[in-house]
A and B are shown apart, each in its own frame.
Chain A
Amino acid sequence: SQQGEEDPQALSIQEGENATMNCSYKTSINNLQWYRQNSGRGLVHLILIRSNEREKHSGRLRVTLDTSKKSSSLLITASRAADTASYFCATTPSTFNFGNEKLTFGTGTRLTIIP
């Protein structure tokens, strides 16, 4: 079963605008990660936020985490055509140990940046 659900499933915006994607999950987590997937390629890690963190930044990316609502959001500012991709959230369970590093992925948001 899927741990995370991304919202929206698809998003189209004009280049230069900001894009916001949301992720909800079901069980307690140790960390939440965001990945990007370009068409026909593997997943590329964007950012990891730990369960005791509320916000994290990396370049044009801003991630928030609300563990009380079991939700996270990814904001991409000043979007570019190269940001066109699918974005996935993934969680590591709170019962974390090295033998339990099982990432559970959401269903993804397909982002299209219109030049």
Chain B
Amino acid sequence: NAGVTQTPKFQVLKTGQSMTLQCAQDMNHEYMSWYRQDPGMGLRLIHYSVGAGITDQGEVPNGYNVSRSTTEDFPLRLLSAAPSQTSVYFCASKTGKGNQPQHFGDGTRLSIL
């Protein structure tokens, strides 16, 4: 049981490039989310999904797109990378039941030059 898998683990981009961060979970969880973690700021919610075909914005959605075509996958797309998007990105999932914890991947460390 792999849990939540994120790829790649590290990535360096140039300003203006686009890329997709992959996230997959094998626990059949309905709820998935993306966070970014910056020094001294904790984790901030970017986008989330309550099920296939349903997505919504979190606290810091600008510059990012998501889609949820299957229960297992929740990719995060950077449309035109900016240095301000240099961060560590975490994907998480949880069951649809209330009062349950989120399960996190190990993160993608992204640098924008």
Nearest CB in chain B: distance from A33 CB, A: 6
Chain B, residues 46-71, CB within 8 Å of chain A (1/0): the string is: 00101000001011000000000000
B31 and A2 form a contact (CB under 8 A)? no
Please indicate which of the listed interface residues A1, A33, A43 has the most CB atoms of chain B within 10 Å of its own CB: A43
Partner of A102, one of B48, B96, B98: B48
A105 and B42 form a contact (CB under 8 A)? yes
CB-nearest residue of chain B relative to A6?
B42
Give chain B's interface residues, CB within 8 Å of chain A: 4, 30-31, 33, 35, 40-45, 48, 50, 56, 58-59, 90, 92, 94, 96, 98-107
Q: How far is the CA of A40 from the CA of B90 in the complex (A)?
A: 11
Knowing that A42-B107, A103-B45 are A-B contacts, what are 18 other residue pairs whose CB atoms are under 8 Å apart, sorted by A's residue number?
Answer: A2-B42, A30-B99, A33-B101, A35-B104, A42-B106, A43-B92, A43-B104, A45-B102, A45-B103, A98-B31, A98-B50, A98-B98, A99-B50, A101-B50, A102-B45, A102-B48, A103-B33, A104-B59
Also in contact, A105 and B98, with CB within 8 A (given A42-B90, A98-B50): no
Check A75 for interface membership: any CB of B closer than 8 A.
no
Q: How far is the CA of A31 from the CA of B103 in the complex (A)?
A: 16
Give chain A's interface residues, CB within 8 Å of chain B: 1-2, 4, 30-31, 33, 35, 40-45, 48, 50, 88, 90, 92, 96, 98-99, 101-108
